[in-house]
A = this chain, B = another copy of it.
């Protein structure tokens, strides 16, 4: 059973009614972030029920030692951990001496409401205490997009009968990670600074020595009257708190404003952190909560102006796509090139490290189309910066001459994943990083990037592939043994079609770009040749090798096989599985999964997605029809690719079902794990499902191609994409397509395969063909 408690609304995520069993799920779903920091939707007040506490700070991590039963050479030493940072949210509250705790009082009218249009999260409820007191509470909270070191909370209490209230806003360094390999502490608290109701805790991470100041400031008002604290900030064991105490007449309200957040040594000199915290606080107090909220609305309005997707006639689909776009922007908005996009963003600890191949394979298109070009370029530069570490990583594994293997998971360029079978074998990630360079240049036309940075990355990666293939005399072809493809329900397989294919493409593309560089940028060519030792003869060898790569193939079915021997499996389709044993990763032993035919996520089909122009539609359909029935989609990255392919193949029911599955993966908790955090990177896949799937967007030879299709469940949809200095909006209705272009000069595009010239700032309406 999927969960279904989130109420449908085009712009809001709403939960009504308090259910302790849903607290951890909702903590994920109502998470807030502003690109620089983020936090799960933990309650401000203390809560004695089951909760998963998490506040996270971008770029701050801890290299936990890996856990391995029996060490072997080349195993990763560290597993980078997303760190639960000190908590600045907390506000304890007592009513006539009884502490507010939703697990203890009777709770009515509980409601959460996350307004995605403004990035403002509200929670309200009334609580009845055992001795009869009753209060109504409304809390408003946001992490400022305009001031990324600041969060703000407005905590309103209305007394239904006269009572005494005591408040204790605090900052607490006594936090733990749920996910810790050795139960080591991750933080050391070094200093405090207190001044009235201002409190600031200085901490650093162990080993990595990231310096962080966690701060807060509070103000309490009854009507417009400030209430003085009953106790200024005091420090107790890495916990700073102040207190307010007052009486409240029946029907009266008290409001506590709390401002807080983190100042990180990654952004300021270490000796300025406390000063910066004071500045942020003072500026927030001067501006006031309402002004800060206006800033927040404006910042989000700007994001939505470019990134919104409208879906008419299907409010759940509408809500879901906005939730995906909202969460992506909360996680990474491109303002800080040092950051990247963790699979769970700021919503949980799992997948520890920050950067997976997800960034290149799934997230890049979203950021290319909805942000200025610099943002996508920064995502690429991130990898270029880490090329030396990728070369070192390959060296450790026995590769030579500047071959580069990018890590499966990384914070700083070093491999920091836990599992050898992934770090050693899931080398297809190298292909996605190369493909992203191609994809970026294809979309933006920024060919200069190739000479500036792209070529060196491609050379390192191609050298890796060239060494990783070897000639099989038995097959008289180049084979690649012992890999894991995108489908992680296989390990240590031979000739994974996807990996062989993307490696072949990479060798060919690099060789071609090397020739092009020689012709078009001879100075760059010389510089890179000198720096990398790259020679034209090496490129020629790659082309020769690429022409002789082996791909497993079934003559009878006319399909490429996911890997050698795939047809030996017990080929029962997913339909035959007992539903009580799904997801299989929660019920089956690992060896049983490995030898089964079940596919965790698109693997061969991932290749058809990336390289669709290399294949006919018949070929794609044949492969889709063969592989989809074995696919359990237990990776969040799977349904989106299937949705796009299904749309292309006019399997609109499939496309729609997969769209819902990717779009509402977390809202409806398809994979029964939302309490661990949201699947952020797959949300970019959801965006692709609409724009590339239903909208049919492609870029070919510097031109946009659209091939919009409308699922029968929808009345229409609309999206915008940023392209070469202007914005194209596509609106699809049941009668036809409207295109709008904001650039200065007319833009030639293709619609359903036919050329069309978009005039600046004019709508073009084209009736459906049928």
- A-side residues, CB < 8 A to B, are 66-70, 72-75, 79, 181, 396-398, 418-421, 424-425, 470-475, 479, 481-482, 491-495, 564-565, 567-571, 585-592, 594-595
Closest to A584 in B: B73
In the assembled complex, the Cα of A398 lies from the Cα of B69 at a distance in Å of 24
Contact A585 B69 (CB under 8 A): no
Contact A72 B585 (CB under 8 A): yes
Contact for A419 among B70, B74, B586, CB less than 8 A: B70
Closest to A492 in B: B492
Contact B567 A472 (CB under 8 A): yes
In the assembled complex, the Cα of A153 lies from the Cα of B526 at a distance in Å of 77
10 more CB-based (< 8 A) A-B contacts, given A73-B587, A73-B589, A398-B589: A67-B67, A67-B68, A69-B418, A70-B418, A73-B585, A74-B590, A397-B589, A420-B591, A474-B567, A495-B568
Closest to A550 in B: B568
Contact B74 A570 (CB under 8 A): no
Residues of the B chain whose Cβ atoms lie less than 8 Å from the Cβ of A181: 69
Contact A590 B72 (CB under 8 A): yes
Interface of A is mostly: loop
Number of identical monomers bound together in the oligomeric complex: 2
Residues of the B chain whose Cβ atoms lie less than 8 Å from the Cβ of A567: 472-474
Contact A69 B72 (CB under 8 A): no
In the assembled complex, the Cα of A470 lies from the Cα of B421 at a distance in Å of 26
Contact for A69 among B68, B475, B481, B592, CB less than 8 A: B68
Contact for A74 among B425, B479, B569, B591, CB less than 8 A: B591
Contact B69 A482 (CB under 8 A): no
Residues of the B chain whose Cβ atoms lie less than 8 Å from the Cβ of A585: 72-73
Contact A571 B425 (CB under 8 A): no
A478 to chain B, nearest CB (A): 10
Residues of the B chain whose Cβ atoms lie less than 8 Å from the Cβ of A570: 470-471
Contact B73 A69 (CB under 8 A): no
Q: A68-B67, A69-B418, A492-B491 are in contact. Are A472 and B592 (CB under 8 A)?
A: no
Closest to A468 in B: B595
Closest to A564 in B: B565
A474 to chain B, nearest CB (A): 4
Closest to A69 in B: B418
25 contacts between A and B (CB under 8 A): A68-B69, A69-B181, A70-B419, A72-B585, A73-B587, A73-B588, A73-B589, A74-B592, A75-B590, A398-B588, A420-B590, A420-B591, A424-B589, A425-B591, A470-B570, A473-B567, A474-B567, A479-B568, A481-B565, A482-B591, A482-B594, A482-B595, A491-B492, A492-B493, A564-B564
Interface centre among A420, A567, A595 (most CB of B within 10 A): A595
In the assembled complex, the Cα of A470 lies from the Cα of B74 at a distance in Å of 35
Contact for A590 among B424, B470, B589, CB less than 8 A: B424
Residues of the B chain whose Cβ atoms lie less than 8 Å from the Cβ of A482: 591, 594-595
In the assembled complex, the Cα of A418 lies from the Cα of B74 at a distance in Å of 18
Residues of the B chain whose Cβ atoms lie less than 8 Å from the Cβ of A67: 67-69
In the assembled complex, the Cα of A418 lies from the Cα of B68 at a distance in Å of 9
Interface centre among A492, A564, A591, A595 (most CB of B within 10 A): A591
In the assembled complex, the Cα of A471 lies from the Cα of B569 at a distance in Å of 8
A475 to chain B, nearest CB (A): 6
Contact for A473 among B75, B418, B564, B571, CB less than 8 A: B571
Residues of the B chain whose Cβ atoms lie less than 8 Å from the Cβ of A491: 491-492
Q: A494-B568, A564-B565, A568-B472 are in contact. Are A73 and B424 (CB under 8 A)?
A: no
A404 to chain B, nearest CB (A): 16
